Amino acid sequence: MIRKSFVLSLVGAISMALAGSAQAQSPNRVSASQKGSLLMFSKVEIKWSADGSTLLQDTFVDISNDYPADVDVQAYFINGDLELEQRCSGEPCEDNIIQEFEPGWNTADCKFTLTGDQPHFWSAANGSDLCQSFVVLDTEGPGRPDPETGMASRILRGYVIFWAVKFVPEAPNTEGLGAFLPIRWNHLKGDAVIINYANGTAWEYNAWAFQARMGAHGQPIEQVTDGHIHLSLNGTMYDTPFDTLLLDFYGTGSTALSGGDQTVMTDTDLTVHAVSADLRQDGCGPVLTKIEAEIWNEFETKFSGTRRCICCWDQTMLSNWVRSVAIPNHFKRSALRTDKGKARLDGIASDECDRGTEVVVNGDSDRISGYELYCGPTAANKRRNCDAVASLNNESEDAAILGLATKFLAFSPSGDQATAGMNLVGAGEESAEIWVDAQIGPDELNTTDRDGRTDVKSSGAKGVSTDRGATIRDTVEVPAE
């Protein structure tokens, strides 16, 4: 009896400890190993030869609907690079171009239907039968000079977001026309495969999955307000992003992975982006933040000062993570002083990353704009949640970030190359938000179908309807969220 009471007490104590641990871990956080209602793919990258004639690399996004019923999916493509103005060295300009115009931080969207239990894949370079390609972001293309190879190749890159939606004819604030609203559908699963045809290498990563945490399955979790829809990634509507990211890396230039008569040189391509995004046509511009990196080597020595200003999205080799020549790049093996390192990354507001700084010259107020460097020459000079045009001052902000790390391995004397990548690990919680223009149903003069399919002009979607996946089932197995 005493033993039984002791065992029951022990079980109770363990259960309470586990419950407390689960509560402390806050399960309402984004994960790369779960299904969700909203998926983020942090890296989409296409490469072409210098003349644009040959595809060198493509990204294939895989998305599956793990539920025996149809669901509409809203997709947004975001060009991660900055807009560049055309620059000329003389007149006429067309004969003296030293930098072509390149679109930047522009977006495009499409909407498609996944049938019950349907898997689907999408090529960033070529699109699919359900959605146009990522190349729609660069009509001047293909791509721009690759910053990692110079003029040897061209590149178009950024990230994509998918979330489950439903057309609701009776949606409030739509003057009776209805709208596509985000819904709880925690049955979307995604991953991406990046294939480099030139090097004969490939690697894959999982999508970041945010589960919807409110409402019933298949039901709207947000309504239209002032023509917009606001997606809150705060642990209540959707899962919360991380507060910081943890990067485990080999110092750039390390040969610790050498063996088998091969010297293996290592560098890492770090991809990070703000989770918050204003995708409205007349929105408040991209999120600008400073990535502060606290770095430790194998002797537990801590290095500070390595940092980088990013606007919306950034992908940079650790060897090029240089903010100032006066600050050592502790991602390099020479500065780190050990082969292995750890970095804690945080997106913070900082004066040194603000889009502009106001100064006083001879009693007159003048403005020295810094945002052109970070957010492109024609980026909106407005903050998120802006009322109208805001001051150029203090526009960088604390920001939740997500990202990936891609190891580049160079073998000598064989000359072979290899890549390997993975999602970064996160810690803590920091809320984020996504703003989009509501896709409201058409009036009677619009030729768009009233079943909710958007016409090609407004979204770029091919609008292909299909009854694929229709099967006869004696019983329907409903998967858990």
Over residues 303-332, mean pLDDT:
87
Distance CA 449, CA 255 (A): 60
Over residues 457-477, mean pLDDT:
39
Alpha helices in 327-454, H assignment, sequence order? 333-336, 371-375
- DSSP secondary structure letter of residue 352: G
pLDDT at 376: 58
How does 54-77 read in b/e, with b if 16+ C-beta sit within 10 Å?
ebbbbbbbbbbbbbbeebbbbbbb
pLDDT in tens, 70-85: 999 999 999 999 888 8
The mean-pLDDT minimum among 20-29, 232-241, 349-358, 409-418 falls in 20-29
pLDDT at 454: 40
pLDDT at 444: 75
pLDDT at 92: 86
The pLDDT confidence band at residue 6, using thresholds 50, 70 and 90, is: very low
The pLDDT confidence band at residue 447, using thresholds 50, 70 and 90, is: very low
10 Å Cβ neighbour count for 480? 7
Over residues 248-269, mean pLDDT:
96
Give residue for tokens 């938000």: 433
pLDDT at 151: 78
Over residues 373-394, mean pLDDT:
48
Report percent pLDDT > 70 for the chain.
79
The pLDDT confidence band at residue 222, using thresholds 50, 70 and 90, is: very high
Maximum mean pLDDT: which of 108-112, 322-326, 473-477: 108-112
pLDDT at 108: 95
Q: Which residue has the higher pLDDT, 371 or 124?
A: 124
Over residues 32-61, mean pLDDT:
97
Instruction: Flag whether pLDDT at 434 surpasses 80.
Output: yes
Instruction: Flag whether pLDDT at 16 surpasses 70.
Output: no
Q: Which residue has the higher pLDDT, 199 or 8?
A: 199
Mean pLDDT of the chain: 83
Instruction: Flag whether pLDDT at 342 surpasses 90.
Output: yes
Residue 425 CA to its chain's centroid (Å): 15
pLDDT at 395: 73
Instruction: Flag whether pLDDT at 17 surpasses 50.
Output: no
pLDDT at 14: 40
- DSSP secondary structure letter of residue 16: H
pLDDT at 382: 54
**Per the confidence metrics, is the pTM higher than 0.75?**
yes
Residues 143 and 54 sit within 8 Å (Cβ to Cβ): no
Distance CA 200, CA 417 (A): 9
Q: Name the residue ranges covered by the structural domains of the chain.
A: 27-87+97-240+431-465, 243-430
